Amino acid sequence: MTNLKKAFGIILAFIIIVAAAFYAYKWIFWNNDTLNYGVYIGADAEEIFHKKLADTIVIDAQYFSSDEIAKLKADGHTVYTYFNIGSIEDYRDYYKDFEAITLDVYENWEDERWVDVTVKEWQDFLSAKADELIDKGVDGFFIDNCDVYYHYPKQSFFEGLSTILEDLNNKDTYVLINGGDEYVRAYFDKYGSLDLILDGVNQESVYTAIDWDNDTFTVNSTSDRKYFLAYLDLVMADGKDAYALEYATDEKIKRQAEHLAKSYGYNIYVSDSLELN
Protein backbone atom coordinates (compact mmCIF):
# COMPACT_ATOMS: atom_id res chain seq x y z
CA MET A 1 0.00 0.00 0.00
CA THR A 2 2.90 2.34 0.85
CA ASN A 3 4.45 1.77 -2.57
CA LEU A 4 1.09 2.44 -4.21
CA LYS A 5 0.77 5.74 -2.35
CA LYS A 6 4.29 6.71 -3.39
CA ALA A 7 3.53 5.85 -7.01
CA PHE A 8 0.31 7.83 -6.87
CA GLY A 9 2.15 10.77 -5.32
CA ILE A 10 4.80 10.69 -8.04
CA ILE A 11 2.16 10.56 -10.77
CA LEU A 12 0.21 13.41 -9.17
CA ALA A 13 3.36 15.52 -8.85
CA PHE A 14 4.19 14.82 -12.50
CA ILE A 15 0.70 15.88 -13.59
CA ILE A 16 0.98 19.11 -11.59
CA ILE A 17 4.39 19.90 -13.10
CA VAL A 18 3.16 19.22 -16.64
CA ALA A 19 0.03 21.31 -16.08
CA ALA A 20 2.07 24.18 -14.65
CA ALA A 21 4.46 24.03 -17.60
CA PHE A 22 1.54 24.00 -20.03
CA TYR A 23 -0.10 27.06 -18.52
CA ALA A 24 3.24 28.86 -18.27
CA TYR A 25 3.84 28.17 -21.95
CA LYS A 26 0.32 29.28 -22.77
CA TRP A 27 0.82 32.56 -20.87
CA ILE A 28 4.12 33.20 -22.64
CA PHE A 29 2.59 32.30 -26.01
CA TRP A 30 -0.21 34.83 -25.66
CA ASN A 31 1.74 37.60 -23.92
CA ASN A 32 5.26 37.56 -25.35
CA ASP A 33 5.92 40.19 -28.03
CA THR A 34 2.26 41.11 -28.41
CA LEU A 35 3.32 44.75 -28.37
CA ASN A 36 6.22 44.62 -30.81
CA TYR A 37 4.14 46.46 -33.43
CA GLY A 38 1.40 49.07 -33.18
CA VAL A 39 -0.47 51.35 -35.58
CA TYR A 40 -1.62 54.65 -34.04
CA ILE A 41 -2.19 56.89 -37.04
CA GLY A 42 -5.34 58.38 -35.50
CA ALA A 43 -3.59 59.47 -32.30
CA ASP A 44 -2.16 62.95 -31.89
CA ALA A 45 0.96 63.78 -29.87
CA GLU A 46 -0.96 64.44 -26.66
CA GLU A 47 -2.74 61.08 -26.86
CA ILE A 48 0.22 58.98 -27.90
CA PHE A 49 2.43 59.85 -24.95
CA HIS A 50 -0.25 58.52 -22.59
CA LYS A 51 -0.38 55.11 -24.30
CA LYS A 52 1.44 51.87 -23.67
CA LEU A 53 3.19 51.76 -27.02
CA ALA A 54 4.68 48.94 -29.05
CA ASP A 55 8.38 48.84 -29.90
CA THR A 56 7.72 49.65 -33.56
CA ILE A 57 5.01 52.26 -34.04
CA VAL A 58 3.22 53.88 -36.96
CA ILE A 59 2.06 57.47 -36.50
CA ASP A 60 0.98 60.25 -38.85
CA ALA A 61 4.17 62.29 -38.54
CA GLN A 62 2.72 65.22 -40.48
CA TYR A 63 1.05 66.16 -37.19
CA PHE A 64 4.09 65.60 -34.94
CA SER A 65 7.05 67.89 -34.37
CA SER A 66 10.68 66.84 -34.69
CA ASP A 67 11.04 67.08 -30.91
CA GLU A 68 8.04 64.81 -30.35
CA ILE A 69 9.41 62.22 -32.76
CA ALA A 70 12.83 62.48 -31.10
CA LYS A 71 11.16 61.83 -27.72
CA LEU A 72 9.47 58.69 -29.06
CA LYS A 73 12.78 57.43 -30.42
CA ALA A 74 14.59 58.28 -27.18
CA ASP A 75 11.99 56.14 -25.40
CA GLY A 76 13.13 53.20 -27.53
CA HIS A 77 10.57 53.19 -30.34
CA THR A 78 11.17 52.71 -34.03
CA VAL A 79 8.93 55.31 -35.67
CA TYR A 80 7.30 54.89 -39.06
CA THR A 81 4.96 57.45 -40.55
CA TYR A 82 1.74 56.98 -42.45
CA PHE A 83 2.23 58.09 -46.07
CA ASN A 84 -0.67 58.02 -48.49
CA ILE A 85 0.54 57.82 -52.09
CA GLY A 86 -2.52 56.50 -53.92
CA SER A 87 -5.30 58.70 -52.61
CA ILE A 88 -5.72 61.99 -50.82
CA GLU A 89 -7.94 63.08 -47.93
CA ASP A 90 -9.73 66.41 -48.14
CA TYR A 91 -8.44 67.47 -44.70
CA ARG A 92 -4.80 67.43 -45.82
CA ASP A 93 -3.43 70.96 -46.18
CA TYR A 94 -2.31 70.14 -49.72
CA TYR A 95 -5.62 68.71 -50.93
CA LYS A 96 -6.61 71.80 -52.95
CA ASP A 97 -3.24 71.75 -54.72
CA PHE A 98 -4.03 68.34 -56.21
CA GLU A 99 -7.81 68.28 -56.32
CA ALA A 100 -7.69 68.52 -60.12
CA ILE A 101 -5.97 65.12 -60.41
CA THR A 102 -8.25 63.26 -58.00
CA LEU A 103 -10.41 60.42 -59.29
CA ASP A 104 -13.33 58.51 -57.75
CA VAL A 105 -14.41 58.75 -54.13
CA TYR A 106 -12.85 56.07 -51.91
CA GLU A 107 -15.58 53.61 -50.91
CA ASN A 108 -16.51 53.86 -47.21
CA TRP A 109 -14.25 56.91 -46.79
CA GLU A 110 -16.20 59.84 -48.20
CA ASP A 111 -13.54 62.42 -47.32
CA GLU A 112 -10.98 60.70 -49.55
CA ARG A 113 -10.47 60.32 -53.30
CA TRP A 114 -8.14 58.20 -55.40
CA VAL A 115 -5.40 60.16 -57.14
CA ASP A 116 -3.74 59.87 -60.54
CA VAL A 117 -0.29 58.53 -59.61
CA THR A 118 0.95 59.00 -63.17
CA VAL A 119 1.12 62.78 -62.76
CA LYS A 120 4.72 63.96 -62.33
CA GLU A 121 3.75 66.86 -60.07
CA TRP A 122 2.25 64.37 -57.62
CA GLN A 123 5.33 62.15 -57.77
CA ASP A 124 7.63 65.14 -57.19
CA PHE A 125 5.47 66.38 -54.32
CA LEU A 126 5.60 62.98 -52.59
CA SER A 127 9.37 62.82 -52.96
CA ALA A 128 9.77 66.26 -51.37
CA LYS A 129 7.24 65.46 -48.62
CA ALA A 130 9.14 62.24 -47.85
CA ASP A 131 12.37 64.23 -47.47
CA GLU A 132 10.55 66.58 -45.11
CA LEU A 133 9.36 63.67 -42.94
CA ILE A 134 12.79 62.02 -42.95
CA ASP A 135 14.25 65.32 -41.76
CA LYS A 136 11.74 65.22 -38.90
CA GLY A 137 13.39 62.00 -37.80
CA VAL A 138 11.11 59.14 -38.88
CA ASP A 139 12.68 55.74 -39.46
CA GLY A 140 10.47 54.73 -42.35
CA PHE A 141 7.15 54.87 -44.15
CA PHE A 142 3.85 53.01 -43.85
CA ILE A 143 2.71 53.35 -47.46
CA ASP A 144 -1.02 53.39 -48.04
CA ASN A 145 -3.24 52.94 -51.09
CA CYS A 146 -1.08 51.20 -53.64
CA ASP A 147 -4.51 49.62 -54.18
CA VAL A 148 -5.09 52.46 -56.63
CA TYR A 149 -3.66 49.96 -59.15
CA TYR A 150 -6.47 47.51 -58.29
CA HIS A 151 -9.07 50.18 -59.11
CA TYR A 152 -7.19 51.50 -62.16
CA PRO A 153 -5.27 48.49 -63.50
CA LYS A 154 -3.37 50.33 -66.20
CA GLN A 155 0.30 50.03 -67.11
CA SER A 156 0.70 53.77 -66.56
CA PHE A 157 -0.54 53.42 -62.96
CA PHE A 158 1.80 50.48 -62.38
CA GLU A 159 4.71 52.57 -63.62
CA GLY A 160 3.60 55.60 -61.62
CA LEU A 161 3.54 53.63 -58.38
CA SER A 162 6.89 52.03 -59.20
CA THR A 163 8.46 55.45 -59.77
CA ILE A 164 7.19 56.70 -56.40
CA LEU A 165 8.25 53.60 -54.48
CA GLU A 166 11.65 53.23 -56.10
CA ASP A 167 12.34 56.88 -55.29
CA LEU A 168 11.40 56.27 -51.65
CA ASN A 169 13.56 53.16 -51.52
CA ASN A 170 16.52 55.15 -52.81
CA LYS A 171 16.26 57.46 -49.78
CA ASP A 172 17.74 54.71 -47.62
CA THR A 173 14.65 54.45 -45.44
CA TYR A 174 12.29 51.63 -44.46
CA VAL A 175 9.34 51.12 -46.80
CA LEU A 176 6.34 49.16 -45.51
CA ILE A 177 3.45 48.84 -47.96
CA ASN A 178 -0.02 48.51 -46.51
CA GLY A 179 -2.07 46.10 -48.65
CA GLY A 180 -1.37 46.70 -52.32
CA ASP A 181 -1.48 43.00 -53.18
CA GLU A 182 -2.46 43.46 -56.84
CA TYR A 183 0.39 45.88 -57.45
CA VAL A 184 2.99 44.02 -55.38
CA ARG A 185 2.17 40.68 -57.04
CA ALA A 186 2.36 42.29 -60.48
CA TYR A 187 5.73 43.84 -59.63
CA PHE A 188 7.07 40.51 -58.33
CA ASP A 189 5.79 38.66 -61.39
CA LYS A 190 7.55 41.14 -63.65
CA TYR A 191 10.87 41.50 -61.83
CA GLY A 192 11.11 38.39 -59.62
CA SER A 193 12.08 40.47 -56.58
CA LEU A 194 10.66 43.23 -54.40
CA ASP A 195 14.06 44.64 -53.41
CA LEU A 196 13.65 47.94 -55.23
CA ILE A 197 10.26 48.92 -53.84
CA LEU A 198 9.75 47.66 -50.28
CA ASP A 199 11.14 46.20 -47.08
CA GLY A 200 7.90 44.77 -45.81
CA VAL A 201 4.15 44.47 -46.27
CA ASN A 202 1.32 45.08 -43.83
CA GLN A 203 -1.98 43.42 -44.67
CA GLU A 204 -5.20 44.53 -43.03
CA SER A 205 -7.88 42.01 -42.07
CA VAL A 206 -6.13 38.70 -42.60
CA TYR A 207 -8.10 36.89 -39.90
CA THR A 208 -10.68 39.54 -39.04
CA ALA A 209 -13.03 41.52 -41.26
CA ILE A 210 -14.97 44.77 -41.18
CA ASP A 211 -18.74 44.55 -41.54
CA TRP A 212 -19.34 47.97 -43.08
CA ASP A 213 -23.11 47.54 -43.26
CA ASN A 214 -23.47 46.90 -39.54
CA ASP A 215 -20.47 48.91 -38.37
CA THR A 216 -18.95 45.95 -36.53
CA PHE A 217 -15.94 43.64 -36.71
CA THR A 218 -16.17 39.97 -37.55
CA VAL A 219 -14.07 37.04 -38.84
CA ASN A 220 -12.85 36.92 -42.41
CA SER A 221 -13.96 34.26 -44.88
CA THR A 222 -11.72 31.21 -45.26
CA SER A 223 -11.03 32.03 -48.91
CA ASP A 224 -9.99 35.64 -48.17
CA ARG A 225 -7.83 34.49 -45.27
CA LYS A 226 -6.04 31.93 -47.46
CA TYR A 227 -5.48 34.56 -50.14
CA PHE A 228 -3.91 37.05 -47.73
CA LEU A 229 -1.81 34.38 -46.04
CA ALA A 230 -0.47 33.38 -49.45
CA TYR A 231 0.33 37.05 -50.11
CA LEU A 232 2.27 37.36 -46.86
CA ASP A 233 4.02 34.06 -47.63
CA LEU A 234 5.16 35.47 -50.97
CA VAL A 235 6.57 38.55 -49.25
CA MET A 236 8.38 36.54 -46.56
CA ALA A 237 9.75 34.10 -49.14
CA ASP A 238 11.37 37.11 -50.83
CA GLY A 239 13.12 37.91 -47.54
CA LYS A 240 10.84 40.79 -46.56
CA ASP A 241 8.98 41.51 -43.33
CA ALA A 242 5.29 40.70 -42.96
CA TYR A 243 2.75 42.39 -40.69
CA ALA A 244 -0.99 42.26 -40.16
CA LEU A 245 -3.34 44.92 -38.87
CA GLU A 246 -6.49 43.33 -37.49
CA TYR A 247 -9.68 44.84 -36.08
CA ALA A 248 -11.54 43.18 -33.23
CA THR A 249 -13.29 43.94 -29.95
CA ASP A 250 -14.05 40.32 -29.07
CA GLU A 251 -11.22 38.91 -26.92
CA LYS A 252 -11.57 35.41 -28.35
CA ILE A 253 -11.24 36.72 -31.91
CA LYS A 254 -8.22 38.80 -30.90
CA ARG A 255 -6.51 35.70 -29.51
CA GLN A 256 -7.34 33.68 -32.59
CA ALA A 257 -5.86 36.39 -34.83
CA GLU A 258 -2.70 36.47 -32.69
CA HIS A 259 -2.47 32.67 -32.77
CA LEU A 260 -2.65 32.67 -36.57
CA ALA A 261 0.08 35.32 -36.80
CA LYS A 262 2.40 33.38 -34.50
CA SER A 263 1.73 30.20 -36.46
CA TYR A 264 2.69 31.81 -39.78
CA GLY A 265 5.49 34.00 -38.45
CA TYR A 266 4.24 37.51 -39.15
CA ASN A 267 3.92 40.49 -36.80
CA ILE A 268 0.48 41.62 -35.72
CA TYR A 269 -1.37 44.51 -34.17
CA VAL A 270 -5.03 44.16 -33.21
CA SER A 271 -6.96 47.42 -32.90
CA ASP A 272 -10.39 47.79 -31.35
CA SER A 273 -11.09 50.87 -33.48
CA LEU A 274 -10.93 51.89 -37.14
CA GLU A 275 -9.73 55.30 -35.94
CA LEU A 276 -6.46 53.67 -34.80
CA ASN A 277 -6.13 56.08 -31.92
Q: Are 176 and 200 in contact (CB under 8 A)?
A: yes
Residues 249-276: pLDDT tens digits? 999 999 999 999 999 999 999 999 999 9
Q: What is the DSSP letter of 260?
A: H
Average pLDDT over residues 115-134: 98
Give pTM, 2 decimals.
Answer: 0.88
Q: Kindly indicate whether the domain formed by 35-271 is annotated with CATH number 3.40.605.10.
A: no
Q: Specify the pLDDT at position 10.
A: 56
| Domain ranges across the chain | 1-32, 35-271
Q: What is the mean pLDDT of residues 112-116?
A: 97
Closest C-alpha to 148, from 193, 186, 189, 103: 103
Helix (H, G, I), strand (E, B) or coil at 64: coil
Rounded mean pLDDT of the chain?
A: 91
116: confidence class by pLDDT, cuts 50, 70, 90 = very high
Please list, in sequence order, all residues whose beta carbon lies within 8 angstroms of the beta carbon of residue 40, skipping any fewer than 6 positions away.
48, 51, 53, 57, 58, 59, 276, 277
* Residues whose CB is less than 8 angstroms from the CB of residue 264 and which lie 6 or more positions away in sequence, other chains included: 229, 232, 233
